[in-house]
């Protein structure tokens, strides 16, 4: 069976005043219908850039590599240039939920009007139908007084409510793929728990594929089926959520898990990963993690081992150097 | 009283609020009738969701917010300071002894000052040192304690990563040799791999320099790891307070229980154990009468609904206080 989405060998580079930045290097990912792929990584690891590539939303200073492919429904979206094609990946087959819901609603247009407009662009329906779909969707995401909210502006809603409205807007066009970029990071934990449950219910109901981006491993454990761990633009490890969180192989994944304060294990010391995340301008050659890795494999440390994922268990892929060094370290 | 550094007695902070100039003046009840004692050398945690009043309370204790009623006493070695009754000289002294570490290491540091000048500024503003040599010595000393290199001092803050900037903020807060530190969301903006380093540093500095912290955070896992005493705030009230381990193992208040259950577990096999709370936190402009949590409480008692029960803490175990309504 072919995947709903398949990203193959993607590099994303940006030309900036300070030079060319490699934001994403050689990543390959896939998402099936009804499946949640979690992308986890610290700030600057390339999570948002990856998601934006799928909608071709990266700005003008972006360059993709020639041999990269982003196959959605058997079409390579990286080849899309016409308005008609781009429409498919921007609100048609793909929708995105952003971390800051204010960013996706125009401040001076009522929520309902924005939802209707979006539906009219993407669906062959009339205004009344669009309105009723929108109101139903607002109800579906748990917004009380949906008719009233339909006529309000985004700033009139509380944070949690706005996030629900944005989810409603993203879902109303029934995308095949939902990109959720830190959709709960700005929310309080009790509201986050509500929104996570909502997203999970909806995925089940509509059987869409989802990329769920977060820096929170706890959130990943709660929502994802598969996980890709990113560091400085590279996927260093990926696989089924249980494997990655319970049987991590890469020193970075292990380090992240040890650095996390676990409320169920208060006696565990907090162990930071030594050093700092390098600037993307000083991205290490070879293993991207080598400047902070606790293991001492001279080859890895010198940047002589190339990054390359290998399969260690069915579906569990780890950067080869992670294994080589891990064994020697 | 001898082992307390701070006593907060029946403190309330209200803000005036007026939607526009013709509408009626209203009061925001940001902090209501708070009583806490912060022991010398403790790591006192304040948790609660956004808008619950944590920053307002922290600022009130620092003397940076007007206290509407009640008082805050700072028990210094030689004498007590009553924050609601201080003259200029007292306030100056207090400013040296009580300091704030900011949340956002990016916004807090002036981009045009060198790290040395940033750290030295409080010494110069408060006229603590008498010569440039003395200032330099204090700056170097505290920078080393915060694990900054001497050559870092000549650089500008933009050259530093998030974790390093937070160490600069900490050094700046500690250079005046304070006894009491309010750390307001001091690790919230940091990546996980860096966060643990800053938490360990705060712990280490606490024992080296005899510091007492009020540690404000919305991250319960972090608080559980570093704090010895924790107070849980909701809509301007403390609903539960106690020794950190006891409180996290044996939460009594419905809100504390819900909050704890909402932390996403990193075990994929433990999914959806969150006690789901209905709706959102009510506005501090018109908090519900009686128990402030009753609009969201998953299991309110018969007496709670009418709002007849007053808020107030009861001691259920030594040092473990819970809002009385839930205890009944
Ligand atoms: N338009 C751009 N021009 C130049 N560099 C960019 C641009 N967009 C992103 N970058 C850089 O690409 C890298 C990856 O950024 P990205 O936003 O994907 O990170 P992220 O993993 O989403 O981080 P966060 O958790 O902070 O959102 C960063 O170093 C970022 O500074
Ligand atoms: N200067 C002010 N004027 C008016 N209202 C204020 C002011 N400062 C705070 N408030 C209000 O007081 C209440 C408590 O706010 P506070 O900032 O103390 O909450 P917090 O617990 O620190 O929240 P967060 O986690 O978002 O930082 C909120 O309703 C807030 O809007
Ligand atoms: S390749 Fe070497 S440096 Fe890189 S993660 Fe593995 S052990 Fe560490
Ligand atoms: S007093 Fe009643 S409504 Fe309030 S938290 Fe306790 S049980 Fe719930
Ligand atoms: Mg991002
Ligand atoms: Mg605050």
CATH numbers and ranges of domains, chain B: 4-227 (3.40.50.300), 238-328 (no CATH)
* CATH code assigned at A239: 3.40.50.300
- Residue B209: both structure tokens together: 């320099």
Tokens 């932390």 -> residue: B263
pLDDT at A320: 84
Q: Are residues A204 and A286 in the same domain?
A: yes
What the block records as the tokens of A316 is 């569990």
Q: A246: part of which helix (H) or strand (E)? A: helix A241-246
- A236 and A291 in a single domain? The answer is yes
Q: pLDDT class for B213, splitting at 50, 70, 90?
A: very high
Which two three-digit tokens encode residue A138?
């607002």
In this prediction, residue A325 carries a pLDDT of 65
In a domain, A166, yes or no: yes
Residue A277: closest C-alpha in chain B: B161
Determine, yes or no, domain membership for A129.
yes
Residue B143 is predicted with a pLDDT of 94
Interface test with A, best of B251, B259, B268 (most A CBs within 10 A): B268
| Owner of token pair 């209707």 | A116
Query: Per-residue pLDDT tens for B150-171?
Result: 888 999 988 787 888 899 999 9
Query: Is A98 part of a structural domain of the chain?
Result: no
Residue A3 is given by DSSP the state: -
Rounded Cα gap, residues B244 and B223, in angstroms: 8
Residue in B207, B200, B210 with CA at minimum distance from that of residue B147:
B200
Rounded to whole angstroms, how far apart are CA atoms B103 and B106? 9
Whether A194 is covered by a domain: the verdict is yes
Q: Sorting pLDDT into bands at 50, 70 and 90, what band is B327? A: low
pLDDT, tens only, B277-301: 887 788 888 888 888 998 898 888 7
Are A323 and A186 in the same domain? Answer: yes
Compute CA B128 distance to the chain's CA centroid, rounded to the nearest angstrom: 26
pLDDT at residue A100, rounded to an integer:
73
Contact residues for B285 (Cβ-Cβ < 8 A; gap 6+): B17, B26, B27, B28, B29
d(CA A233, ligand 1 centre) in Å: 9
Residues A189 and A287 in one domain: yes
Residue A166: count of CB within 10 angstroms of its CB: 26
At B196-210, the pLDDT tens digits run 999 999 999 999 999
pLDDT in tens, B299-321: 887 777 766 667 889 999 999 99
Residue A329: the pLDDT is 38
Candidates B49, B196, B262; nearest CB to A271: B196
By DSSP bridging, strand B180-184 and strand B212-217 are parallel
Mean pLDDT of B115-131: 93
Whether residue B328 is predicted with pLDDT greater than 60 in this model: the reply is no
The pLDDT of residue B278: 82
The answer as to whether A99 is a domain residue is: no
User: A247: which DSSP letter?
Assistant: S
For position A195, what pLDDT does the model report?
86
Chain A positions touching B258 (Cβ under 8 A) are: 190
Q: Which of A43, A188, A264 sits opposite B49 (nearest CB)?
A: A188
Question: If you measure CA to CA, which chain A residue comes closest to B197?
Answer: A272
Is A77 inside a domain boundary? yes
DSSP state, residue B157: G
Residue A257, classified by CB atoms within 10 Å of its CB into exposed (0-12), middle (13-18) or buried (19+), is middle
C-beta atoms of B195 and A264 within 8 A: no
Our count of domains for chain A comes to 2
Ligand nearest the Cα atom of residue B12: 2
Cα separations in angstroms, A77 against A6, A211, B260 = 10, 16, 43
Non-local CB neighbours of B70 within 8 Å, separated by 6+ positions = B8, B9, B10, B11, B12, B33, B34, B84
Of A218, A271, A276, the CB nearest to B163: A276
* Cβ neighbours of A78 (radius 10 Å): 18
A87 and A13, same domain (yes or no): yes
Q: Is B296 in the pocket of ligand 4 (CB under 6 A)?
A: no
Report the pLDDT value the prediction gives residue B288, as an integer from 0 to 100.
Answer: 87
Q: How many residues are given for chain B?
A: 328
Residues A72 and A186 in one domain: yes
Report CB contact under 8 Å: A219, B222: no
Residues A260 and A314 in one domain: yes
For ligand 2, atom 17, the nearest C-alpha belongs to B55
Is A18 a domain residue?
yes
- Final residue of a domain: which of A174, A207, A223? A174
Residue B280 has its nearest CB partner, among A160, A266, A273, at: A160
pLDDT tens digits, A219-244: 999 999 999 999 999 999 999 999 99
B163 lines ligand 2 (CB under 6 A): no
**Probe target for ligand 3 pocket from A322, A324, A328, A329, with the most ligand atoms within 8 Å of CB:** A322
**Contacts for B54-58: CB closer than 8 Å, 24+ residues apart:** B54/B184, B54/B216, B54/B218, B54/B233, B55/B184, B55/B216, B56/B13, B56/B30, B56/B31, B57/B8, B57/B11, B57/B13, B57/B31, B57/B233, B58/B100, B58/B182, B58/B184, B58/B214, B58/B216
For residue A222, which residues of chain B lie inside 8 Å, CB to CB? 264-265, 268, 271-272
CA dihedral of residues A94, A100, A101, A105 (deg, nearest 10): -80
H helices of B43-131, in order, are 54-61, 88-97, 115-125
Q: How far apart are CA A291 and CA A90, in angstroms?
A: 38
* Residue A295 confidence (pLDDT): 81
Ligand 4 contact via B309 beta carbon (within 6 Å): yes
Q: Spell out a b/e string for B115-146, using b for 16 or more CB atoms within 10 Å of the CB, else e.
A: bbbbbbbbbeeeebbeeeeebeebbeebbebb
A276: in domain: yes
| Same domain (yes/no): A209, A306 | yes
- The residue-averaged pLDDT of B102-122 equals 85
What are the DSSP E strand ranges found in A226-280?
226-231, 234-240
B172 close to ligand 2 (CB < 6 Angstrom): no
What pLDDT was estimated at residue B115? Answer: 94
Residues A169, A195 within the same domain: no
Closest C-alpha residue for ligand 3 atom 6: A322
Last residue of a domain, one of A153, A174, A195: A174
User: Which residues does B contribute to its contact with A (CB < 8 Å)?
Assistant: 49-50, 161-164, 191-197, 199-200, 218-222, 224-225, 245, 248, 258-272, 274, 276-277, 280-281
A187 and A250, same domain (yes or no): yes
In chain B, whose CA is at the least distance from the CA of A255?
A: B193
Report phi then psi at B193, rounded to 5.
Answer: -65, -20
Q: Do A260 and B221 touch (CB under 8 A)?
A: yes
Q: Which atom of ligand 2 is nearest to the CA of B58?
A: 18
Q: Residue A113 sits in which domain range? A: 104-174
Question: What percentage of chain B exceeds 90 in pLDDT?
Answer: 64
One domain for residues A89 and A123: no
Q: Where are the alpha helices (DSSP H) in chain B?
A: 54-61, 88-97, 115-125, 132-145, 162-174, 192-209, 220-226, 244-249, 254-262, 302-305, 324-327
* pLDDT for position A258: 93
Looking at this predicted complex, what is its ipTM? 0.87
If interface means Cβ-Cβ distance under 8 Å, which residues of chain A face chain B?
42-43, 158-161, 188-194, 196-197, 215-219, 221-222, 224, 241-242, 245-246, 255-257, 259-264, 266, 270-273, 276-277, 292
| Chain B residues with beta carbon closer than 8 angstroms to that of A43 | 162, 191
Q: Give the pair of three-digit tokens for residue A37.
A: 């792929």
Residues from chain A that touch B195, judged by Cβ atoms under 8 A, are 259, 272
Last residue of a domain, one of A174, A204, A230: A174
Residue B239: both structure tokens together: 């609903």
Same domain assignment for residues A76 and A141: no
Spans of chain A, pLDDT less than 70 = 1, 101, 296, 298-301, 322-329
């Amino acid at each position: 069976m072919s995947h709903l989405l398949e990203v193959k060998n993607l590099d994303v580079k940006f030309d900036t005043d300070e030079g060319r930045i490699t934001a994403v290097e050689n990543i390959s990912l896939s998402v099936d219908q009804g499946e949640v792929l979690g992308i986890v990584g610290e700030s600057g690891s390339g999570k948002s850039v990856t998601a934006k590539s799928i909608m071709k939303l990266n700005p003008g200073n972006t360059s993709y590599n020639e041999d990269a492919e982003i196959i959605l429904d058997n079409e390579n979206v990286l080849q899309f240039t016409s308005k008609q094609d781009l429409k498919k990946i921007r609100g048609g087959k793909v929708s995105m939920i952003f971390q800051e819901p204010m960013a996706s609603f125009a401040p001076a247009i009522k929520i309902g009007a924005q939802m209707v407009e979006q539906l009219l662009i993407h669906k062959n329906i009339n205004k009344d139908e669009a309105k009723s779909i929108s109101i139903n969707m607002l109800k579906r995401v748990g917004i009380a007084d949906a008719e009233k909210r339909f006529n309000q502006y985004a700033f009139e809603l509380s944070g949690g409510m706005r996030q629900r409205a944005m989810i409603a807007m993203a879902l109303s066009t029934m995308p095949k793929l939902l990109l959720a970029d830190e959709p709960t990071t700005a929310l309080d934990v009790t509201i986050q728990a509500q929104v996570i449950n909502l997203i999970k219910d909806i995925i089940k109901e509509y059987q869409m594929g989802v990329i769920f981006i977060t820096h929170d491993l706890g959130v990943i454990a709660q929502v994802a089926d598969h996980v890709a761990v990113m560091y400085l633009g590279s996927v260093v490890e990926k696989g089924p959520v249980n494997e990655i969180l319970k049987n991590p192989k890469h020193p970075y994944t292990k380090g992240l898990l040890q650095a996390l304060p676990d409320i169920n294990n208060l006696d565990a010391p907090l162990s930071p990963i030594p050093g700092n995340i390098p600037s993307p301008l000083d991205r290490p050659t070879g293993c991207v993690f080598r400047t902070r890795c606790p293991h001492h494999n001279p080859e890895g440390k010198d940047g002589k081992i190339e990054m390359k994922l290998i399969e260690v268990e069915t579906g569990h892929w780890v950067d080869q150097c992670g294994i080589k060094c891990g064994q020697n370290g | 009283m001898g082992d307390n550094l701070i006593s907060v007695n029946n403190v309330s902070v209200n803000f005036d609020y007026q939607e526009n100039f013709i509408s009626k003046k209203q009061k925001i009840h940001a902090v209501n009738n708070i009583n806490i004692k912060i022991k010398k050398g403790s790591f006192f945690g304040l948790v609660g969701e956004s808008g619950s009043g944590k920053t307002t309370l922290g600022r009130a204790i620092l003397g940076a917010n007007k206290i509407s009623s009640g008082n805050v006493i700072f028990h210094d070695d030689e004498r007590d300071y009553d924050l609601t009754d201080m003259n200029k000289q007292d306030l100056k002294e207090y400013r040296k002894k009580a300091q704030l570490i900011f949340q956002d290491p990016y916004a807090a540091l002036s981009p045009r000052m060198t790290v040395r000048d940033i750290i030295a500024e409080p010494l110069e503003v408060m006229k603590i040192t008498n010569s440039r040599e003395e200032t330099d010595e204090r700056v170097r000393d505290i920078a080393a304690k915060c694990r900054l290199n001497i050559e870092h001092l000549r650089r500008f803050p933009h050259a530093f990563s998030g974790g390093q900037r937070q160490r600069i903020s900490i050094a700046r807060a500690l250079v005046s040799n304070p006894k009491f530190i309010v750390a307001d969301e001091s690790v919230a903006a940091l990546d996980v791999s860096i966060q643990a380093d800053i938490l360990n540093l705060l712990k280490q500095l606490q024992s080296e320099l005899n510091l007492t912290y009020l540690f404000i955070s919305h991250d319960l896992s972090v608080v559980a790891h570093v704090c010895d005493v924790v107070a849980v705030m909701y809509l301007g009230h403390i609903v539960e307070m106690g020794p950190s381990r006891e409180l996290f193992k044996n939460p009594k208040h419905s809100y504390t229980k819900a909050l704890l259950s909402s932390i996403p577990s990193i075990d994929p096999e433990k999914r959806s154990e969150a006690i789901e709370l209905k709706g959102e936190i009510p506005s501090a402009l018109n908090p519900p009468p009686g128990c402030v949590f009753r609009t969201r409480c998953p299991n309110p008692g018969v007496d709670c609904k009418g709002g007849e029960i007053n808020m107030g803490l009861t001691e259920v175990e030594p040092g473990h206080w819970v809002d009385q309504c839930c205890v009944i």
